[in-house]
Chains A and B, each alone.
Chain A
Amino acid sequence: AQSVTQPDIHITVSEGASLELRCNYSYGATPYLFWYVQSPGQGLQLLLKYFSGDTLVQGIKGFEAEFKRSQSSFNLRKPSVHWSDAAEYFCAVGVAGNNRKLIWGLGTSLAVNP
């Protein structure tokens, strides 16, 4: 069965520190991969996506993610975190075919210390 795992429920980093949020998926084919961010009281906003091609993708707000097929991972990174990055981050996998849909991870809550 398809699934998405975000192993870290909550992460706290200091402002200016680097960040890596993990995402692992289970899917039989090459998936469509997404990272969304949700600020408090808001809906979700797309950070970046991977469909094909270069496995390192750049997104908005200085975020990037790398697709590693051998590890079934799509980890999100940022070299220097800003206080405004405090939010909930969701990884999602797009499933193609007749039952096409998005499968979501449970999210990682990011806190940023000043």
Chain B
Amino acid sequence: KAGVTQTPRYLIKTRGQQVTLSCSPISGHRSVSWYQQTPGQGLQFLFEYFSETQRNKGNFPGRFSGRQFSNSRSEMNVSTLELGDSALYLCASSDRGGGGANVLTFGAGSRLTVL
């Protein structure tokens, strides 16, 4: 069974630009969660989608958005990039929605550098 696939793995952007990251979950998984990982803040929850609906959202500004398609693939978008958005963005999928009791399978992440 293929794992969680995130693309691109690495990207460099400049301040003010926007970026779109993609995540393909494990086949059959309908829940996709996104996290931002930085050395100082650890793992910060961005949002969770289940069957194309956003089920939960973390404390990030509106510049961070996401969506999920009917095939469970998900994208997240960050507009008007800031230097502080430089981070590893992790996607995780689960066969159930709900967050609390779910076992998550993570992708390898997308490393975003904002210059």
Contact = CB atoms under 8 A, between A and B. Distances in A.
B87 to A, nearest CB: 14
A53 interface: no
Interface in B11-29: none
Nearest to B42: A106
Interface residues of A, number: 24
Contacts of B107: 43
A46 B104 contact: yes
Task: Classify the interface of chain A: helix, strand, loop or mixed.
Answer: strand
Nearest to A93: B100
A32 interface: yes
Contact of B56 (A44, A100, A105, A107): A100
Given A90-B43, A102-B45, A107-B42, A43 B101 contact: no
Of all A-B residue pairs in the complex, the 10 with the closest CB atoms, nearest first, are A43-B106, A100-B100, A94-B100, A106-B42, A101-B99, A104-B43, A100-B99, A44-B106, A96-B100, A32-B101
